[in-house]
Amino acid sequence: MLPADCSSRLVAELRDALDSCAQRQRQLERSLRISRRLLRAWEPAKTPVPEPTPGPETDEEVPSSACSPSPQDLKELELLTQVLEKAVRVRKGISKAGGDKAPTVKSESTATSPATRASTRLRASDWTGSHASETKPPRGIRQTRVPAKDLSEHRLVSVEDPACIGRGARAAKLEPSRRSQETVPLAAPQAREVFTLKDKGILLQLPVAFRKAASQNSRLWAQLSSTHTSDSGDAATTAKNHFLQKMQTTSGWPSSRLSPAEVEAEVGRLQKACSLLRLRMGEELTADPKDWMQEYRCLLTLEGLQALAGQCLHRLQELRTAVVEQQLEPWPEGRLPRASSPCGGGADTIRSPPLLLYSSTQELQTLAALRLRVAMLNQQIHLEKVLMAELLPLVREQEPLGPPWLALCRAVHSLLCEGGERFLTILREDEPAD
Amino acid sequence: MGRRRRRRVDPADAARALPEAIAVLTRTLPTGPSPETFRRAKFDRPEAAPALWRLLFCVLSPMPADGASPSLALEAQARSVKAALRFQGYPRRALAQLPDDGSQGGRELLLALAWLLARGPTLEQLLAQSRVRLGDEMPVCECESLASPGPAVPSVEADGCVDIRHLQWLMGKLRFRWRKLMASQQEQCALLGKIHSYTRGCHSDRSLGHLSVTETELLRDPEGGQQLLQRLERENVRLEAALEWRRRELVFWQWMDTVLGACPPEASQPTFLPKIPAQGAAELELVVRELQALQEELQGVAETRWAAWEARVGGHGPEWSASRRALQEAVRQDLVALQWAWERGGGLAQPHGPHRLVRTEAGAPEGRGLQATEVIEVLRSREACLEVVLGQLQGQCRQELARLVGTLPGLIWIPPPGR
């Protein structure tokens, strides 16, 4: 058995590591659930719908849920109409360009026309956010006559905005008149077709309201990160500093006192320094100097590294005395979450997140796997240091040679030297055979 | 034309400026207390206290990204706020002496809030933390993995002795969890790849090209999409308020000066000082030991080699001293650059923070963003470094144990088969 304080420290560290793993796993599983669901067939929305109406051309459908279009809706409808008209023009251009487009279009239409029919009916019948019993496609689907592979802007845009319920009826009126040139207007109810991302993902389009909000969002973020300096900014900064100064002086504490956050940050920096110095030392030691000049440079570097290590140590000892001097009050229980990570506090994150471009799933998987591996190694190294600090003294102190000590040695060896994966064997030579 | 600009602010404007500034501030804060609360706080009214405790709790504890944290009682929030403020070095002791039940202390809390706002880009950081993420994001640095895990967990360890086998069991559990994590991560990447490729060309923003999971989800589930849209719009409101706050905050700071002036002066003799948590102290010790070990190693290595070098290379002519000086200068600059890497956060040269994943065709024109191949290279070299470090540590342990056991006769030490 290990002594109590050693036990509790080690168990706490290991539990910490286990918890952070579990947290990552939870996040991943959440994402996995969502992604899996997206790749399956999409379910229709929940709310049941009254019976579907027949052809869209025939009626001016009032949505069953009262939602009178607002002026904003009408405006958006205007935009929608314009886009539709443009799309028709473009499409006319395409169909003129390639004579064989029509047949391919027809054959494509087996894939798209159910969607077409469905969404025309969809628009006509219900805008309550639910689907007709046989219609399937989600809000964002749009009709396209162009083969799915031809990804371009020649798409007939019929944007169904989930945000506005009342619009669809009006759109329904406009849509069919365009559509009737190309599609076979179908009045017969169709069998339920299923929307899968794989087949029809290309048809999706984000709703207008969302797009507007998203672009406004990124614009505002850009503004926020750029207006750091201005006239009023300077005056405000002076006022802020003045206020902080006054807070400090009225509190009666010396301003040179370090806060725990600062101490922690500095210890972190010095730890990073240690690893960088060690890394550099390793590089210098593995390098093979060929002549006396290179050797001289190598030795100078090692000397410099030693001096830097000394400086860091000195700073740490200063911090240590400061810490000791200030320990006068019991600390409230519970561990505090760390102050904002150096990453999140940077000004860079205030802008929209930059892009990370990958070109294949393989690449993405490699990237993610490496990230996890690096995180795991960091954790292992930390645990290794902690375990070394706690367990090696135990082995040193316990001199009795009995089996418990050997068992301890074996376990410690496995933990410290093999990452807990393998065990060594210890044979005693003078074991009396009975 | 008339005078467009006045030197002195119209008193009516001035009277309005403060409430407007406070109103803007409340619009940008997460749990938005009412402006009335601020006014009450100046006069130290007790009813202002709970709202401010909650606000401070919101500001100080980072919002966990996954789901809502269980909402704590006011007392627990108050304690957590006090601890966090002390951790950051908040100077006023009066706050520490406030009762935890949230019945008093409006003015002190207001001062604490102002202190936090004055010290750093608090508002921007708050906004960035709770930001609506529309893309599939992946961090490209390790900063978050090195930070400690989220909310404060009270240590409920059974404080008894454990057997070392318990530790071995925990290590095994940890290894298993990592393996599972790896597998889940691979699956998630495969799914992401599919979703990105199935929705290519759908995004209105050409530079992105395809939809993200969030965006696709909003199309699949219109109700969820509604909620997302509302969150986005709420965030836009807060962003606009934050921008406006920058123009109006001066009058707030002038007002805070008066609030501070209204406080009774604190006793000049400090009786309590914050204690650095024991956990921090332990870490400090670890680093001290590491540095000491490093120093000894460096010394040991250098001594013998210097001696050898001196023996081979005796005195030399003038060109020797010139090249010597050149080398010294080169090494000095080298080391300064190295020092920069840890002192000024020299890691800023490397990309940080979450990046939005975008699938492109290979060989697409550069300049749009970070390429995955670059990040992979950086990570590979990082992995190699870390493996070396781990190997060194394990080697050290092996040597140490072999030394300890080797002194004992009659034992045969059979290491496990190598990898």
B355 shares contact with chain A (CB less than 8 Å): yes
Q: Which pLDDT band, with edges at 50, 70 and 90, does B260 fall under?
A: confident
Q: Is residue A223 part of a domain?
A: no
Which tokens hold the place of A105?
């279009």
Contact check, Cβ <8 Å, A227/B243: yes
Q: Is residue A173 part of a domain?
A: no
pLDDT score recorded for residue A97: 55
Q: Kindly give, in sequence order, each residue whose CB lies less than 8 Å from that of residue A375, ignoring residues fewer than 6 positions away.
A: B142, B145
- The partner residue sitting opposite A213, judged by closest CB among B233, B341, B345, is B233
Contact check, Cβ <8 Å, B400/A392: yes
pLDDT score recorded for residue B370: 84
Which range has the worst mean pLDDT, A242-246, A425-429, B119-123, B266-270?
B266-270
pLDDT score recorded for residue B267: 61
Domain that holds residue A9: 1-31
pLDDT score recorded for residue B237: 92
pLDDT tens by residue, B80-101: 888 888 888 888 888 888 887 8
User: Regarding predicted confidence, which is higher, B295 or B275?
Assistant: B295
User: Regarding predicted confidence, which is higher, B24 or A428?
Assistant: B24
- The partner residue sitting opposite A285, judged by closest CB among B163, B301, B401, is B301
- The partner residue sitting opposite B92, judged by closest CB among A224, A247, A379, is A247
Q: Give the gap in angstroms from C-alpha B1 to the nearest C-alpha of chain A.
A: 25
Q: Is residue A189 part of a domain?
A: no
Asked if residue B397 has pLDDT above 60, the reply is yes
Asked if A120 and A172 touch (Cβ cutoff 8 Å), the reply is yes
pLDDT tens by residue, B341-389: 887 665 556 777 788 898 887 666 667 788 889 899 989 998 998 998 8
How confident is the model over B162-174, as a mean pLDDT?
A: 91
B110 shares contact with chain A (CB less than 8 Å): no
pLDDT tens by residue, B366-379: 677 888 898 999 89
Q: Kindly give, in sequence order, each residue whose CB lies less than 8 Å from that of residue A234, ignoring residues fewer than 6 positions away.
A: none
Contact check, Cβ <8 Å, B411/A429: yes
Query: How far is it, in rounded angstroms, from Cα B245 to Cα B328?
Result: 53
Asked if residue B176 has pLDDT above 90, the reply is yes
User: Which range, A77-81, A152-156, B184-188, B235-239, is most confident?
Assistant: B184-188
- Which of B260, B241, B215, B208 is closest to B41 using CA atoms? B260
Chain B contact set for A388 (CB, 8 A): 393, 396-397
State whether ipTM is beyond 0.85: no
Contact check, Cβ <8 Å, A293/B327: yes
User: Regarding predicted confidence, which is higher, A212 or B155?
Assistant: A212
Please count the structural domains in chain A.
Answer: 1
Q: Is residue A345 part of a domain?
A: no
Chain A contact set for B350 (CB, 8 A): none
Q: Is residue A81 part of a domain?
A: no
pLDDT score recorded for residue A185: 39
Q: Is residue A17 part of a domain?
A: yes
Contact check, Cβ <8 Å, A276/B342: yes
- The partner residue sitting opposite B246, judged by closest CB among A206, A232, A418, is A232
Which range has the worst mean pLDDT, A44-53, A286-295, B201-210, B318-327?
A44-53
Chain A residue with Cα closest to B144? A341
Asked if B45 and B105 touch (Cβ cutoff 8 Å), the reply is no
Q: Is residue A344 part of a domain?
A: no
Query: How far is it, in rounded angstroms, from Cα A322 to Cα B222?
Result: 57
Residue spans of chain A under pLDDT 50: 47-67, 98-191, 328-342, 344-347
Chain B contact set for A44 (CB, 8 A): none
pLDDT score recorded for residue B8: 58
B387 shares contact with chain A (CB less than 8 Å): yes
Q: What is the CA radius of gyration of chain B?
A: 30
Element (H, E) at A389: helix A361-397
Cβ-Cβ contacts under 8 Å between A and B: the total is 667
pLDDT score recorded for residue A433: 60
Asked if B180 and A25 touch (Cβ cutoff 8 Å), the reply is yes
Chain B contact set for A297 (CB, 8 A): 327, 330-331
pLDDT score recorded for residue A128: 39
Query: How far is it, in rounded angstroms, from Cα B138 to Cα B376?
Result: 13
pLDDT score recorded for residue B105: 79
Q: Which pLDDT band, with edges at 50, 70 and 90, does B273 fall under?
A: low
Strand partners, A196: A41
Identify the residue among B109, B159, B221, B289 best suited for mutation to test binding to A, counting A beta carbons within 10 A and taking the highest.
Answer: B221
pLDDT tens by residue, B30-44: 777 888 888 888 888
- With pLDDT > 90 as the criterion, what percentage of chain B qualifies? 16
Chain A residue with Cα closest to B232? A213
Model-level pTM? 0.72
Q: Is residue A3 part of a domain?
A: yes
Please name the residue ranges forming H helices in A227-360.
Answer: 231-251, 260-286, 292-325
- Which of B207, B323, B150 is closest to A292 using CA atoms? B323
DSSP state of B279: H
pLDDT score recorded for residue B24: 84
Which tokens hold the place of A9?
């420290």
